[in-house]
Structure 1
Amino acid sequence: MSDINNRSLEKDQLNARLEQANRQLLQSEKLAAIGQLAAGVAHEINNPVGYVYSNLQSLGTYLDDIFRLTDAVDAGSSLEDLSAIKKNIDYSFLKDDLKDLLAESREGIERVKTIISAMKDFSHIEDEEFKPSDLHRGIETTLNVVNNELKYKATVIRDFGELPEVECISSQINQVVMNLLVNAAHAIEDFGEIVVRTRCDSDWATIEVEDNGKGIARENLHRIFEPFFTTKPVGKGTGLGLSLSFNIIEKHNGSITADQASTGKGTCFRISLPLKQPGITADNQRG
C-alpha cells in the first residue's frame, strides 16, 4: 500500500513539474513575442520622430532668418534694406515651407500618439479580467501595433461584420490575433493579402485571419497547435505561439481551427468565442 502511495505521490510531483515547465515555456514565448513586437514598434515610432526632429532643425534655421528680418524692422532699417534681407532669406519659400513643415510634424506626432494608444489598448495590463469588449477595436489596435511586420509583406483587407461586445480578456485575444497576423505575414513569400474577417452567429463571435501565402500541408493542419511543432525553418520559430493561442482560446471556452484558405492558396485560421462566458466567478476572472 505504501508503494502505491509513493508512486501516486511521485506521479503528482512529476505532473506538477511538467505543468510548471509548460507555464515557463509559454511565458518564454510571450516574452519572445514582446521582444519582437517592441523592435517593430520602435521602428514605427522612430520614423515619425526622425522627420519631426529634422523638421525642428529646419525650423530653427527659418526662425533665425525671420529674426534677422524682425531685428532689421526694430532697428529702423530702410525699406530697401528690408527688401534685400527678405529676398536674401527667400521669404516666399520660407513661408510656404513652414506650413508644410508644421503639417508634416503634426502628422508625425499624431502617428506616435496612435502607436502609443494602440500599445495601451493592446496590452490592457491593468485590466486582465473577463469583461465585455469591442473585438473590432482590439483588432484595429493590434493591426497598428504589428504594422511594421505587415506593411512590407501584405495588404490587409478588413471584412468586418456586425459584432456585439464579447465577454473576454481583451489583451489575451489581442495576443492571439497578433500571433495569427504575424504568422500570416511570415507565410507570404513576396507580397500578398491578409483578410481579417469577423462575423456573429447566434451566441458566438468568429474571427478569421486568412492569407494567400504558401499554406500548410493538410497532413500538418491537425498538429500545428502542438507545443514545439512548427513548419518554419530552424531558428525562425519556437512552435509555441499557436500552442499558447490554443490555450488562451480554450480558457475562453472557445475554439481555434486552421484550414486551407477559401481561395485554395494559403491558410485560414478561425477563432470562435462565446459572447458570454459561462459561470464566470470572482475566483476565475483573473487572467
Structure 2
Amino acid sequence: MNLNDPQASRLTNTIETRQALPMSKAAIPQSEQEMMNARLEQARRQLLQSEKLAAIGQLAAGVAHEINNPVGYVYSNLQSLESYLTDLFRLTDAVDSADSLDSLKAIKQNIDYEFVRHDLKDLLAESREGIERVKTIISAMKDFSHIEEEEFKPADIQRGIESTLNVVNNELKYKAEVTREFGDLPPVECIISQINQVVMNLLVNAAHAIDDFGEIRIRTREAGDTVIIEIEDTGRGISQDNINRIFEPFFTTKPIGKGTGLGLSLSFNIIEKHNGRIDVESALGKGTCFRIALPAKQPRAPEDS
C-alpha cells in the first residue's frame, strides 16, 4: 500500500482512531460510574434523612399532645388555686379586723373552708403528677435522641425501649395495650439513638397494623452473646406476597401519603450496621412479630485486638 496515497492515509487514520476508541470508552464510563455512585450515595443519605425528619415530625405532634394534657390541667389547677388563695387571704385578713369570733366563723363557712382545705391537697397532687409527666416526656426525648452520639457505646437497651415507648405513647395508647416481658440483659454495644429509631419504627408500624384495639408485646432476652428484641402485634398481618419485600426501599402497603416506604429499609440498614439481623414472621388476621438479634459486643477488627 502506498502510504502517500490520500485514500491510504485516510484508512490508516481510521484504523488508528478505532484502535483508540476502546481506551477512551473504558476511561469515560469509569469516571461516570464514580459520579453516579457518589450521586446515588448522596441521594440515599438525603432519603434516609428525610425519613428521620418525617418520623420526628410525626412524633412532634404526638409529643405536643402528650405534653399539652398535663400542662392543661396544671394551668386549670393554678386558676383554682388563685381563687382558693383569695378566699383564704380574706379569712386571714379578717383576723385583725373582725368584730367577734362569730364573724370569723361566718367568713370561714362562707368560703367553704373544709372543701378548700381538702381540694387543695388533691389539686397539688394532681399538678405534681402533671409536671412529673412532662419531665418524663422530656427525659424520654433526650434519652431517645442522643443526636450527638455516632459511635458504639455500651447502652441499656431496655431503658431505650422505655424511652421510646414514652415518646410514641400518643401513637399507641388508642390502638393497643403494651405488655412487656423483659429479661436480664447485659449492656449492649450500639449506637442507642439508632436502635431507638428501629424500635420506634416497629412500634408505630404495629399500631398502624391494628384496626380497632389490640395488643403489642415487647420481649427481650439474652441468648449467648446475642440480645434478642421481639415486637409482636395482633394486627392484620402481612401477606406472603409482601413479606419478602417489606425491607425494600419505598415499598409500602399504606395508602398514598401515609408512608414513605423507608422506615423498615432504614431499620434493616441500621441492624446490619450493628452486625445483627432482623427477621419477621406473620400470618394474615393473626399478627406480625419482628425479631431483632444484636451482638452484645461488636466484633473487633484485627488491628483493634
* TM-score (norm. length: structure 1): 0.95
Give matches, 1:148-187, under 5 Å.
148-187=170-209
Q: 1:34 corresponds to which residue? A: 56
- Give 1 or 2 for the bigger CA radius of gyration: 2
> Could you tell me how far apart the structure 2 residues matched to 1:274 and 1:280 are?
15
Q: 1:6 corresponds to which residue? A: 28
Give matches, 1:61-140, under 5 Å.
61-140=83-162
- Find out whether 1:48 has 2:70 as its counterpart: yes
Q: 1:270 corresponds to which residue? A: 291
> Could you tell me how far apart the structure 2 residues matched to 1:38 and 1:129 are?
26
Task: Kindly provide the amino acid, as one letter, of the partner of residue 204 in structure 1.
Answer: T
How many aligned residue pairs are there?
282
> Could you tell me how far apart the structure 1 residues matched to 2:96 and 2:254 are?
70
Identity across the alignment (%): 76
Does the CA contact (< 8 Å) of 2:98 and 2:104 recur in 1? no
- Find out whether 1:255 has 2:255 as its counterpart: no
Superposed CA offset, 1:33-61 (max 9, x none): 00001110110000000000000000000
Q: Of 128, 148, 168, which residue of structure 2 is paired with 1:146?
A: 168
Superposed CA offset, 1:13-34 (max 9, x none): 1111111111101100000000
Does the CA contact (< 8 Å) of 2:180 and 2:218 recur in 1? yes
Superposed CA offset, 1:93-152 (max 9, x none): 010100110000000001011111111111112333201111010001100110000000
Secondary structure of the structure 2 residue equivalent to 1:230: coil
> Could you tell me how far apart the structure 2 residues matched to 1:130 and 1:75 are?
71
> Could you tell me how far apart the structure 2 residues matched to 1:166 and 1:15 are?
34
> Could you tell me how far apart the structure 1 residues matched to 2:113 and 2:45 are?
65
Q: Please identify, of 199-208 and 175-184, the stretch whose mean Cα deviation from structure 2 is larger.
A: 199-208
Query: Runs of 5+ in structure 2 lacking a partner?
Result: 1-22
> Could you tell me how far apart the structure 2 residues matched to 1:161 and 1:108 are?
31
Superposed CA offset, 1:219-273 (max 9, x none): 2111101000001112110100111111111111111121116x97111111111
Secondary structure of the structure 2 residue equivalent to 1:213: coil
> Could you tell me how far apart the structure 1 residues matched to 2:258 and 2:99 are?
69
Secondary structure of the structure 1 residue equivalent to 2:235: coil
> Could you tell me how far apart the structure 2 residues matched to 1:156 and 1:63 are?
42
Superposed CA offset, 1:57-76 (max 9, x none): 00000000000000001224
Task: Kindly provide the amino acid, as one letter, of the partner of residue 200 in structure 1.
Answer: E
Secondary structure of the structure 2 residue equivalent to 1:207: strand
> Could you tell me how far apart the structure 1 residues matched to 2:286 and 2:76 are?
44
Secondary structure of the structure 2 residue equivalent to 1:260: strand
> Could you tell me how far apart the structure 1 residues matched to 2:112 and 2:118 are?
10
Superposed CA offset, 1:151-197 (max 9, x none): 00000010111211110000100000000000000000000000011
Give matches, 1:192-271, under 5 Å.
192-260=214-282, 265-271=286-292
> Could you tell me how far apart the structure 1 residues matched to 2:92 and 2:99 are?
10
- The structure with higher relative contact order (CA 8 Å, sep 6+) is 1
- Find out whether 1:279 has 2:304 as its counterpart: no
Kindly report the root-mean-square deviation, in angstroms, between the aligned alpha carbons of the 2 structures: 1.7
Task: Kindly provide the amino acid, as one letter, of the partner of residue 22 in structure 1.
Answer: R
Alpha-carbon distance, 1:280 to partner? 6.5
Does the CA contact (< 8 Å) of 2:235 and 2:285 recur in 1? no
> Could you tell me how far apart the structure 2 residues matched to 1:280 and 1:123 are?
28
* TM-score (norm. length: structure 2): 0.90
Alpha-carbon distance, 1:77 to partner? 3.7
> Could you tell me how far apart the structure 1 residues matched to 2:27 and 2:300 are?
35
Q: Of 80, 98, 110, which residue of structure 2 is paired with 1:58?
A: 80
> Could you tell me how far apart the structure 2 residues matched to 1:10 and 1:138 are?
43
Q: Please identify, of 268-277 and 76-85, the stretch whose mean Cα deviation from structure 2 is larger.
A: 76-85
